[in-house]
Amino acid sequence: MEEGTIIHVDYELYNGETGTIIETTREEVAKEHEVHQEGRTYSPMVCIVGGGMLIAGFEEALAGAKVGKETECTIAPEDGYGEKDSELIDTVSIDKLLQSVKDPKSLYIGAPVNIGGKQGTLSYLAAGRARIDYNHPMAGKTLKYSFKIIAVVEGKEEKVTALLESNTGHTDFGVEFTGDDLAITLPQTMLFDTNAAMLKFRLVTTIRDAITDVSKVSFVEVHEPRGFGVEETEETEEEHVHDENCNHDEDLSSLSVAQLKERCKAAGLPVGGKKADLVERLSQ
């Protein structure tokens, strides 16, 4: 697979030592392993071969794979998320830990915790002490991927559309080239995204890195009449009643990576990065 090729790929990621499934893009596999999440949209991942956004071992496997062929690969820690760094493991008192969490009942071995702005995982809790591991959750683990390249994205407009959808979580973009100049019509849902302005700059960079012959990039906003696409019963911010059922103070670190990605996707935010990145993105 040539470097720079944009592809759609379905995959499963397993703990190579225990065989436990960690992540999948295929709904039937999620149901089979009893990790299916209601409300989540299961679909192939869009990525750029050799783009540097995936772990080295998976990048290498994708580069050598063929379209439509189910492929398996085992990835050692050094080609995955690295070995565990003992300097990133800290021991604190339970009192300090309890001061940093909103719900003590949410504490369990393997629970995500945030202390002093640092996101880690609770790995030990006993005798008045707690051990927090700030390594990546998959550091030190041998990983196994089972994947299939579903399709190679051809054509400039199709490539741009794939990159837009995978980096924003939005659909229904209008994409049109006039020579090398690119015009992107934003979907209505993105017009209400408070992060849209910053997102545009990142999108331009992503598109130009992937498609070299793009010149001027224009974003087109079409503002429909008031009330377009909004149900009459929808509650506005001014009408919202803040009560004990609100989740404005929700502990995002208690959510799984998959749940955080779904929240980011729904909010029009990028879904890549570590769990700490996703929590910070949603918090802001």
Is residue 117 scored above 90 in pLDDT? no
Could you please state the CATH topology (level 3) that the domain comprising 1-81+138-153 is classified under: Chitinase A; domain 3 (3.10.50)
The whole-number pLDDT of residue 233 equals 44
For the chain, domain boundaries: 1-81+138-153, 86-133, 252-283
Q: Where are the alpha helices (DSSP H) in 41-178?
A: 56-63, 94-99, 156-168
Could you please state the CATH topology (level 3) that the domain comprising 86-133 is classified under: Thrombin, subunit H (2.40.10)
Residue-wise pLDDT tens digits, 162-191: 999 998 888 899 999 999 999 999 998 888
Is residue 211 scored above 50 in pLDDT? yes
Query: CB burial class (10 A; 0-12, 13-18, 19+) of residue 132?
Result: buried
Residue-wise pLDDT tens digits, 216-236: 999 999 887 765 554 544 444
- Angle 10-190-230 (CA atoms, 0-180°, nearest 5)? 110
The whole-number pLDDT of residue 242 equals 45
The whole-number pLDDT of residue 44 equals 95
Q: Which residue has the higher pLDDT, 45 or 117?
A: 45
Is residue 243 scored above 70 in pLDDT? no
The answer to whether 1-81+138-153 and 86-133 have equal CATH topology is: no
d(CA 211, CA 204): 10
Q: Which residue has the higher pLDDT, 213 or 271?
A: 213
Percent of the chain with pLDDT over 90: 56
- Angle 273-276-278 (CA atoms, 0-180°, nearest 5)? 55
Say which residues have a Cβ less than 8 Å from residue 232's Cβ, sequence separation at least 6: none
Cβ–Cβ under 8 Å, residues 139 and 82: yes
